[in-house]
Structures are given as C-alpha cells and as structure tokens.
Chain A
Amino acid sequence: MLNDPKNYKENVKAYQPKVPYFMNCFKAFLVGGLISLIGQGVQTFYMHVFHFSKQTAGNPTVATLILASALLTGFGIYDKIANFAGAGTIVPVTGFANSITSSALEHKNEGVVLGIATNLFQLAGEVIVFGVVSAAVLGIVRLFIEHLF
C-alpha cells in the first residue's frame, strides 16, 4: 500500500501521529496571552513612570521583552517553554529575539565574526525581508492612491 506513489499522501496518513489540535491551541493561547499580559504590565509601567503615550509605549516595551527573551534563550529556558507552547512563543516578538539569539549561539564555535555576527539573522532575516518588502509596496500604493484623489 505504501509503495503506491499516486496515493502516498493518503495512505501514509494512518501512520502519522494525530495532532492534538485543541490542546495545541489552548497552550498557544495561554502562553501567548501571558506574554502579552506581561507586555501590558511593562507598557503600563513605562506609561506611568516615563510618561510614554499609548502609541509610543510599544517601543520600549518591545525592547524590554526582547532583552528578557534573549536572556531566557541564553539560559536555555525559552526553548523549554517553546516546546510546550508552540505558536504561543513563536508569534510574539520574543520569538523573533529567540531566533536571533539561538542561531547566533548555535554558530558560536565558528568565531565572533563568521559565527555569531554572520548568523545573527539566519532565521530572523525573513521577518525583516517580508516586512520591508510588503510595507514598501503597500506604502507606495497608498501614496499613489492618495496623490490621485
């Protein structure tokens, strides 16, 4: 049955582990929500102590979470949480910092320049590439439409 190349995808299904959809979503919701909750705590702190506005407080909040995530990655704790939470640790900005720090750590033995610095954006580069390309295209289109009317 497995040698049938036409229906391979269908036939192999019975042998693949079942995905616990609900549990995975629940874990992602819990951890992702908690990270956002911590972020809200930090943001409220910055708004009250350093008088940031609601729109500008996001900047230092993100920087603080990135510092925390980089440290947790260094201690090896973030990967343990990620094993449990799935997308709950990938979607928040902490996942962005985790991918930068972990790919740099992974290549540390190749040296500071060729290992750490070269591989810093190995995983996170796509975020910046897709972000900049989509923002630039959308920005040009919007500006063009605004000039029309």
Chain B
Amino acid sequence: MIFVYAFLVGGGICVVGQLLMDVFKLTPAHVVATFVVIGAALDVFGIYDHLIEFAGAGATVPITSFGHSLLHGAMAEGHEHGYLGIAMGIFKLTSAGITSAILFGFIVALIFKPKG
C-alpha cells in the first residue's frame, strides 16, 4: 500500500510544481526554491513527519524533504546546545544527499562528454 501512496503523493507534489510553472509562470529555479522553503515550514507541528510516515518515499524524494531535513537536524542539535546548535546541526541529515550530489556530479562531469 505504501507504494501506491508514494506514487500518489510524489506525483501530486510534482503537479503542484507544474502548476506553479504553467499558471504563475515561475521558472524551475523559483519553483525549487519555493518548495524547499515550504518543506522547512511544514516541519512545524511535525506535519511533514506525518507525511513521511504516510507516503514514505513520496515525501522523502521531492525536494521539499530537503528543507524539512535541514530544519529537523537543526532543531535536534538546537535542543541540545541552544542557538549555536542550529548552525551545528543544519546539515546533519542532509549530509548524505549533498555529499553524494557533489561527489557523483564531479565524477560524472570528469568522465562524460557534454551532450547537445
């Protein structure tokens, strides 16, 4: 069942992005930036955690989860070390994503030739 919800929620979030592009004429960069901020905002009251519990990868794969993970890691450290903890913990949960994006992006750019 989680597979069905993942498909529906993941697809639904992309439809919202498509509407922002078509109806409100936002560029893809603006859409992605908006979604990251929305993801961080939805961490309040644990709304996004409920969505992850419900839809699994449907909630963790869209870029909104990036904003959510940033705030989540920041709050976890913030509760332990106060305001300094926010700076210490902000990349805690997103570290794997950013590291792999830099590493694989760099390697692929070294090996492959640009197309088109």
A in complex with B: yes
> Which residues does A use to contact B, with CB under 8 Å?
19, 21, 24-25, 27-37, 39-44, 54-55, 58-63, 65-67, 70-71, 73-76, 79, 86-88, 90-97, 100-101, 104-106, 108-109, 112, 116-117, 120, 123-124, 126-128, 130-132, 134-136, 138-140, 142-143
Q: Is the interface of A mostly helix, strand, loop or mixed?
A: helix
Do A90 and B8 touch (CB < 8 A)?
no
Instruction: Report the Cα distance A80→B96, complex, angstroms.
Output: 27
Residues in A neighbouring B69, C-beta threshold 8 A: 58
Number of residues in B with C-beta < 8 Å to the partner?
80
Q: Is the interface of B mostly helix, strand, loop or mixed?
A: helix
Do A112 and B110 touch (CB < 8 A)?
yes
Instruction: Report the Cα distance A42→B104, complex, angstroms.
Output: 18
Do B32 and A127 touch (CB < 8 A)?
yes
Do B78 and A143 touch (CB < 8 A)?
yes
Using A105-B108, A139-B86 as known contacts, say yes or no to A61 and B57 having CB atoms under 8 A apart.
Answer: yes
